[in-house]
């Protein structure tokens, strides 16, 4: 948004920018040097998705290949409950890797792996997985219908009697996530979703901003956790809308 006439941001069309006279009579070159310096200081080194792809395939010292657990295309492993990473928001993935590395998020598998990666590698891996195709209802494989009623209702409407908002209110239409901070839930192995909800209830996952997910999970019964986890694995299957 162009807030004011002297806003220098690129959001402001040049016609609305005030004429720039940083140094009266001081010439334009001084101004250019200042801008160049500011850009150099502020621009983080760009993440490299190709380096991320190599990490996924080959791993790094102390970190086995990501695809061994997260699948060749980042699709996760339903049977083992390993999460899908493909198409998740880059900032969300990076935050999780930073949280595993600092021990803020616990996981016997992921903590040592995230620690073995450098800051740069964590960024490359997040960039790579974010660039892979996200789950979509159209592309979802045919699956046995998920239980219609309860899971679908919680995901799309919540349960206002007990102050439980719809999952999709925060996680996006069809649960496909909202960048940068709300991950996709649709297409996640149900064992993974169930384990995360239980971890919030038990207090063993506590890295969510402002405790948003803790307050959601704490309001859920075991039956609700099971139903919504099953539904989210493939909302494109039966019982899509209650």
Instruction: Give the footprint of ligand HEC on this chain (CB under 6 A).
Output: 55, 63-64, 66, 68-70, 82-83, 85, 93, 95-97, 107, 109-110, 113, 117, 125, 154, 165, 167, 169-171, 181-183, 185, 193, 195-197, 207-209, 212-213, 216, 228
Does the CA dihedral 217-172-211-115 come out positive or negative? positive
How many residues are present in the chain? 242
* Burial status of residue 229 (CB atoms within 10 A of its CB: 0-12, 13-18, 19 or more): buried
Q: Which is nearer to ligand HEC, 64 or 239 (CB)?
A: 64
- Nearest distance from C-beta of residue 207 to ligand HEC, angstroms: 5
- Nearest distance from C-beta of residue 42 to ligand HEC, angstroms: 25
- Nearest distance from C-beta of residue 65 to ligand HEC, angstroms: 6
Q: What number of other Cβ atoms are within 10 A of residue 35's Cβ?
A: 12
Q: Which is nearer to ligand HEC, 17 or 201 (CB)?
A: 201
- Nearest distance from C-beta of residue 109 to ligand HEC, angstroms: 4
Q: Which is nearer to ligand HEC, 12 or 60 (CB)?
A: 60
- Tokens 């901003």 map to which residue? 209
- Nearest distance from C-beta of residue 242 to ligand HEC, angstroms: 14
Q: Which is nearer to ligand HEC, 12 or 54 (CB)?
A: 54
Q: Which is nearer to ligand HEC, 7 or 98 (CB)?
A: 98
Q: Which is nearer to ligand HEC, 26 or 180 (CB)?
A: 180
* Burial status of residue 62 (CB atoms within 10 A of its CB: 0-12, 13-18, 19 or more): exposed
How is residue 219 written in tokens? 């309001």
- Nearest distance from C-beta of residue 1 to ligand HEC, angstroms: 25
Residue 241, preceding bond cis, omega within 30 degrees?
A: no
How is residue 127 written in tokens? 């960039």
Burial 146-166 (b: 16+ CB within 10 A, else e): bebebbbbbbbbbbeeeebbb
Side-chain half-sphere of 37: how many Cα atoms within 13 Å?
6
Q: How far apart are the C-alpha atoms of 102 and 92, rounded to whole Å? A: 15
Q: Tell which phi-psi region holds residue 221, choosing left (phi > 0), alpha (psi between -120 and 50) or beta.
A: beta
- Nearest distance from C-beta of residue 211 to ligand HEC, angstroms: 9
Q: Which is nearer to ligand HEC, 140 or 195 (CB)?
A: 195
């Amino acid at each position: 948004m162009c807030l004011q006439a002297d806003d220098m941001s690129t959001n402001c069309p040049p016609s609305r920018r005030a004429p720039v006279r940083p140094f009266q009579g001081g010439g334009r070159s001084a101004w250019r040097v200042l801008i160049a310096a500011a850009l150099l200081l502020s621009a983080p080194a760009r993440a490299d998705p190709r380096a991320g792809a190599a990490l996924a395939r080959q791993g790094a010292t102390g970190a086995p290949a990501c695809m061994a657990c997260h699948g060749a295309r980042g699709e996760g492993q339903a049977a083992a409950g390993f999460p899908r990473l493909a198409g998740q928001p880059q900032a969300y993935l990076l935050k999780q890797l930073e949280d595993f590395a600092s021990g803020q998020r616990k996981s016997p598998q992921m903590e040592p792996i995230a620690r073995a990666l450098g800051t740069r590698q964590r960024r490359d891996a997040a960039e790579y997985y974010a660039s892979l195709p996200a789950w979509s209802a159209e592309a979802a494989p045919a699956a046995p219908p998920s239980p219609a009623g309860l899971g679908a209702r919680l995901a799309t409407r919540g349960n206002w009697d007990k102050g439980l908002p719809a999952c999709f209110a925060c996680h996006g239409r069809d649960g496909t996530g909202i960048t940068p901070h709300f991950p996709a839930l649709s297409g996640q192995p149900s064992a993974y979703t169930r384990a995360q909800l239980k971890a919030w209830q038990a207090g063993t996952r506590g890295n969510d901003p402002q405790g948003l997910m803790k307050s959601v999970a704490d309001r859920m019964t075991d039956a609700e956790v099971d139903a919504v986890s099953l539904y989210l694995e493939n909302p494109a299957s039966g019982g899509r809308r209650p």
